[in-house]
Amino acid sequence: MARFKENDLPKSKITATSLNKATIIFKYAGNHQWKFYVGLVFLLLTGATALAFPKLMGMLIDCVKNKNNDQANQIALGLIVILFLQSFCSFFRLSLFVNFTENTLANLRLSLYTNLVKLPMTFFSQKRVGELNSRISADITQIQDTLTSTIAEFLRQFILIIGGVILLATESFKLTLLMLAVVPLVAVAAVIFGRFIRKYSKQVQDQVAESQVIVEETMQGISIVKAFANEWYEVARYKGKISEVVKLAIKGGKYRGYFASFIIFCLFGAIVAVVWYGVRLSIAGEMSVGQLISFVLYSTFVGASFGGIAELYAQIQKAIGATERVFELLEETPEKISATQNGASLEKIKGNVSFKNVAFSYPSRKEVQVLKDVNFTAEFGQKIAIVGPSGAGKSTISSLLLRFYDIESGEITVDGKNIYDYDLENLRGNMSIVPQDVILFGGTIKENIAYGKPDATDEEIMLAAKQANALNFVEGFPEKFETVVGERGVKLSGGQRQRIAIARALLKNPSILILDEATSSLDSESEKLVQEALELLMEGRTSIIIAHRLSTIRNADKILVLDNGKITEEGTHQELINLENGTYKNLSNLQFSNY
């Protein structure tokens, strides 16, 4: 599993359009915008005080020639004041930028997450969770680093380059020309060389990460490795990957050696050249020793800034790319759902469901029609079972009823009213689903049951657990309802997870209940307990049962046989069993012949 690094983030060209897009981020600052602008003022003052430092140092050294103690004391005091001002300005610059950034990004994160959870299922069916996670983590972190320090540092380096070159020219125009001909070229060459070295280091890191994948896979599947006596194969696989790491690392080491030699010879050689020419000018009386010292310090400032500004510019490019990707998600149209709890306004529906000539294809597979001209009705209190082979479109019916996707043609009505005329929250608020693969959140059992009704009392939660046949096993845990279920409920068995899901659905008290193969993956004992709980759950509400095991739906009021997107048979268990060469009869014979 290759690790995702911020260095891997793609860059975006800095253009007027991309800058305009990036500045939209300031609207998320709210009443904290002033902190950014005040921080910029302190940034300018930091740059100005930094540029005053070499000049005063040169003047201090010239006091040796003038033998003027008083002047030396005054300049030294001036340098202390400059350092104090620089420290003072740096503190406020950093703290204001951090304050502005954290408040802005908190608002941005909240807006992004709020928009994400409200996006339709069509969006999530076309996006990978890992990609969305990287938008919220890596992209936001990149923006955070840039707003906190990169922009400020880029502007500071820019001020030092421009100010430094101007002040260099005032010290000695000839020496400035030599410095500009040598130092920036060497600094830029060092940056390019350094980036090449980092690229090599990244390749080594990637190879190490790949070798870790082998270790992870082997440890996870150690029983299979041992069952096949393939330890030798795994060792050989790991050895091959480690050899690649060694080769790359040795090559990278050579390049780092070349880089060190380059820095020592060229960069320090450039400084020697500038000092040498400065000494000659000083001997010729064209500049004082103090001016030469000031010049060397300014040259160091300018050289370091030339070297650093390229990397900072690359970071800003990445931040603009990250901002564009974040705003792409914010521009996605969400479903009309409130981001705050508003349970009081829920209008109870009765639960008469009708599908009329419904046709549907998934947005990612438009060419494949999943449902074709589907018609059926489910009256209040009825149990309607849908059976059929895998891929027939059974689960799609529940997705359309919940308005996860929009139908292509036809009409779905609830209580005679088109589902698209309902408020989406109100429609889903009257429905509940118990899926085959129950998703529990990583909190406690109590929190997972209360998900059906977040403001439920402890008594209501306990009653729901009791009705779902879950109270006995919950009470058996040392922490009882405070037991942490683990990620996706891994600490509970399949039957326990199903009963928690049923308790959650009972607590919600829906008008329409959808059971999506809720018992298909359970053992006989668990299935019996879950089936008892389901019978209680289905009382007094419309139930749509998507079934794989036909034994669980014999008592259904109506059974629909879905095959290749069409309803081919309809009736009670007995009626369908009596059909000659019927699909249901064949499925029933296949299943019950195994018992």
Q: What is the dihedral of CA 562, 567, 569, 574, to 10 degrees?
A: 60
Calculate mean pLDDT across residues 436-456.
80
Q: What is the pLDDT of residue 280?
A: 79
pLDDT band at residue 595, thresholds of 50, 70 and 90? Answer: very low
CA distances from 350 to 305, 411, 415, 463 (A): 71, 18, 7, 24
Q: What is the pLDDT of residue 30?
A: 78
Calculate mean pLDDT across residues 238-252.
81
Q: What is the pLDDT of residue 1?
A: 38
* More confident: 207 or 247: 247
- Enter the tokens of residue 104: 């802005």
Q: What is the pLDDT of residue 7?
A: 46
Calculate mean pLDDT across residues 118-147.
72
pLDDT band at residue 14, thresholds of 50, 70 and 90? Answer: low
Q: Which residues contact 18 (CB under 8 A, 6 or more apart)?
A: 12, 320, 324
**Superfamily covering domain 344-430+557-595:** P-loop containing nucleotide triphosphate hydrolases (3.40.50.300)
* More confident: 89 or 300: 89
Question: Do the bridges between strand 431-434 and strand 512-516 make them parallel or antiparallel, or are there none, so unpaired?
Answer: parallel
Largest CA distance in the chain: 119
Q: What is the pLDDT of residue 132?
A: 72
pLDDT band at residue 154, thresholds of 50, 70 and 90? Answer: confident
pLDDT band at residue 2, thresholds of 50, 70 and 90? Answer: very low
Calculate mean pLDDT across residues 273-277.
77
| pLDDT tens track for 494-546 | 778 878 888 888 888 888 888 877 665 555 666 677 677 777 777 778 888 88
CATH of domain 11-171+318-335: 1.20.1560.10
Q: Which residues contact 318 (CB under 8 A, 6 or more apart)?
A: 6, 9, 10, 11, 12, 142, 146
Q: What is the pLDDT of residue 506?
A: 80
Is the pTM higher than 0.95? The answer reads no
Question: Do the bridges between strand 542-546 and strand 431-434 make them parallel or antiparallel, or are there none, so unpaired?
Answer: unpaired
pLDDT band at residue 5, thresholds of 50, 70 and 90? Answer: very low
Beta-carbon count within 10 A of 518 CB: 28
Query: Where are the domains positioned within the chain?
Result: 11-171+318-335, 173-286, 344-430+557-595
Alpha helices in 413-481 (DSSP H): 424-429, 445-449, 458-467, 471-476
- Single out the residue of 544, 553, 447, 545 nearest to residue 504, CA to CA: 447
Q: What is the pLDDT of residue 459?
A: 84
